[in-house]
Amino acid sequence: MATKKFNVTVNGTTYEVEVEEVKAAGGAPKAAPAAKAAPAPAPAPKAAAPAAAAPKVAAGAGEHSVDAPMPGKVIKLVAAEGAAVKAGDVLLILEAMKMQNEITADADGTVKKFNVAAGQSVKAHESLVILG
């Protein structure tokens, strides 16, 4: 049987593979050709699991939620629970599309509860902080 050589790129690493064409009894090639590849790269080490977040709290009477403007990953909580903040004060840093975005308070108030933890991924419009 004839073999063919191909270069295959996987996750930025190029491998030379040799493929042998195998004919079935009816003369048609089989669906899965056999491949002989160069040594596979070691799997990337797993990132540390983000800290488990406390249960999410909804805004109560006289409180409101500051929501994520886009999906991303919480890098750092800047304000502390119970701290008084003014409109424009930074509450946390949200990384999205390789940029760090400062999430600020939209009104004066007190940080009642963080619904996220550093290292946690969030979806767009997900509640991040409850201000009261």
Encoded amino acid at 35, one letter: A
Name the residue among 32, 9, 8 with its Cα closest to residue 20: 32
Residue with tokens 């308070």: 105
Q: What is the pLDDT of residues 38-95, one digit of tens each?
A: 555 555 555 444 444 456 667 667 788 999 999 999 999 999 999 999 999 999 999 9
Give, for 110, the enclosing helix (H) or strand (E): strand 109-114
Report how far residue 93's alpha carbon sits from residue 72's, in angstroms, rounded to the nearest whole number: 10
Amino acid at 71: P
Residue 129 has what pLDDT? 94
